Structure 1
């Protein structure tokens, strides 16, 4: 085995296949890594409520990073830190949606997700909620780029994505990398002892910050360029291959 102590896994497009399932091969190698003392954890743009069942199904009693680093959990249901998005920014991000009436949008609070169809259910004032993240989705990439340019001009928010068709907005400085750094300090683990695996822009900073950053074969080109290595796709048990190759030194076949 190598000296890596922590494996941080993105979910959609990485650990999960296109049917949103964890393959038997991925599960087998995750369990093998855990048995050998490696901390295997989820690091996702999803909210906690949409990620925790996967952690339970894998049997992970480990830290979690949710909403792109907005929430850090020392283990499921035990919150270590939360960084919220100011209601004034939520108001501004929502106002921007009015320029693009066909674009889908959503926003996470600590309690639930509101989206374009349910925004009328948001109780006023916005400060009555603890906001975590705002997002936009449009299959017209030119629209996504126009929205990105406007938000970038504000120079006050963290912008990433989990697909080429979306934008995910967090408070400035919040990322999976910053959350991993905080977790590693909490766990007394060096960032060089961490492997981070992902496929989208919300994974880049973590991939660049750790000892080994791995991109999926299905990852966005910018993610592949930032990574130390590229594994198989999410439909070809790419996570299992990362564990086999870099934690167990390729000692047996996948």
Structure 2
């Protein structure tokens, strides 16, 4: 197969457990780009959270793509063109923020540059704004503060409580907003139909690439659609069971250069 695009999740996939891209993985992805294969980093993170990986892999020199917010915003790293963006209207965001007060979650919102919260000391807030290289500002009320549409509303929650909460938290908004789990401690509200696969489809339209010309790597439940969408879907060795069940291949883990090993077998051999 003549593969033209490699789509890669960030946390737990491209990054090892130390939040680093290993030298072997960097070498493999640089080699792929030198062959003319595009790279798309596809993550639930906001756009600034993808910049470190973008720079490490020199995507701007190779027209790499960034699929941020779980597919809610897609950007060409070289031209800075926004290929796609979908947001939740302000009034609906406010309804959601009011509704989720009933649950043991801590909401976080951002404007693409700064993250806003009601409590800087809340669970996972420090990790979230630090990992995404964003300033964090505390406001008395997100509801009173918000005056712009959001690509997503992120909430953190005790992992023990998440399985029960995610079953019911989105009930009033069915057909308007999807509530998805993106980590053992994160629930996100995103526009209906948004996924990493929908983000990739916008790239395919722009670059005239067929889905069967894509290799996709992931590890979590929010990678399911992307892995199914791609011609060759790869679940990392550390992936969740659901992803492993639907993948075409199970690679080595993110700590064992799983991406590099698969590309060596699939493209370079």
Compute the TM-score of the two structures, normalised by the length of structure 2. 0.84
Deviates more, 1:160-169 or 1:204-213: 160-169
Q: Structure 1 residues 236, 115: CA separation in 2 closer, same or farther (over 3 Å shift)? A: farther
Tell me, in whole angstroms, the C-alpha distance in 1 between the residues paired with 2:166 and 2:139: 19
Does structure 1 retain, via aligned residues, the 8 Å contact 2:25–2:257?
Answer: yes
Tell me, in whole angstroms, the C-alpha distance in 1 between the residues paired with 2:156 and 2:12: 16
Tell me, in whole angstroms, the C-alpha distance in 1 between the residues paired with 2:245 and 2:106: 29
Does structure 1 retain, via aligned residues, the 8 Å contact 2:84–2:202?
Answer: no
Tell me, in whole angstroms, the C-alpha distance in 2 between the residues paired with 1:66 and 1:167: 16
Out of 106, 120, 143, the position equivalent to 1:104 is: 106
Out of 92, 106, 125, the position equivalent to 1:89 is: 92
Match of 2:156 in 1: 137
RMSD: 2.0
Match of 1:12 in 2: 11
Does structure 2 retain, via aligned residues, the 8 Å contact 1:110–1:132?
Answer: no
Match of 2:50 in 1: 51
Tell me, in whole angstroms, the C-alpha distance in 2 between the residues paired with 1:143 and 1:66: 23
Does structure 2 retain, via aligned residues, the 8 Å contact 1:144–1:165?
Answer: no
Unaligned regions of 5+ residues in structure 2, if any?
120-137
Aligned residue pairs: how many?
Answer: 246
SS at match of 1:113: strand
Tell me, in whole angstroms, the C-alpha distance in 2 between the residues paired with 1:3 and 1:159: 36
Tell me, in whole angstroms, the C-alpha distance in 2 between the residues paired with 1:159 and 1:56: 31
SS at match of 1:18: coil
Alpha-carbon displacement from aligned partner over 1:33-89 (angstroms, at most 9, x marks no partner): 111111112111111111123201211121111111110112253212211112233
SS at match of 2:187: strand
Tell me, in whole angstroms, the C-alpha distance in 2 between the residues paired with 1:69 and 1:133: 10
Q: CA deviation at 1:171?
A: 0.3
Out of 65, 70, 73, the position equivalent to 1:71 is: 73
Alpha-carbon displacement from aligned partner over 1:162-197 (angstroms, at most 9, x marks no partner): 212221221001111111111101101101100111
Compute the TM-score of the two structures, normalised by the length of structure 1. 0.89
- 2:38 is the alignment partner of 1:39: yes
Out of 216, 219, 222, the position equivalent to 1:196 is: 216
Does structure 2 retain, via aligned residues, the 8 Å contact 1:177–1:209?
Answer: yes
Match of 1:175 in 2: 195
Tell me, in whole angstroms, the C-alpha distance in 1 between the residues paired with 2:116 and 2:262: 35
